[in-house]
Amino acid sequence: MVQDETMLDQEQAGPLDSFGELIVVLTHSKGNYPLPGGVVTVYTQSGQTIASAITDQSGRTAPLRLATPARSASLTPGGTRNQVAAYYTVQASAEDYLTAVIPNIPVFSGVSSIQNLDLVYGESVETTLPIQSSTEPTP
């Protein structure tokens, strides 16, 4: 059976009873320089803040432990609700740089994933960004 590529709302997909890790690496100047002191926030698809970290001198966060579906759930035959990953939204910001929001980042059970993110220099604007579910179209 072919896995359904639709990203399901995590509440519909079943229990998130396992864990994976996400490391975010912030850079600037097209990835050429690390961006220390950046603030990284991780949200669920429903917009709940579940993790936050500050980047170190190399622009990396410490590994963020995030809930995922059990690896065995993706191996269960039948149905279209089998999901192999949990999907999260990452927001990253740093002083004098524009805030970036990356939706639908997959995190897999037992896997340490690295998300590279290059911030663009510019005047920051204080605003609250709405976090959208992956099931909604991005405007």
User: Do residues 24 and 34 lie in contact, with contact meaning Cβ atoms separated by under 8 Å?
Assistant: no
- Name the DSSP class of 54: E
pLDDT tens digits for 72-105? 776 666 544 567 889 999 999 999 999 999 999 9
Mind spelling out the 3-state secondary structure of 91-121? EEECCCECCEEEEEEEEECCCEEEEEEEECE
pTM of the model: 0.74
CA 118 to chain centre: 15
Q: What is the pLDDT of residue 77?
A: 63
Q: Are strands 100-108 and 85-93 parallel, antiparallel or unpaired?
A: antiparallel
Strand partners, 23: 114
Backbone φ, ψ for residue 72 (5° rounding): -65, -25
Q: What is the pLDDT of residue 31?
A: 86
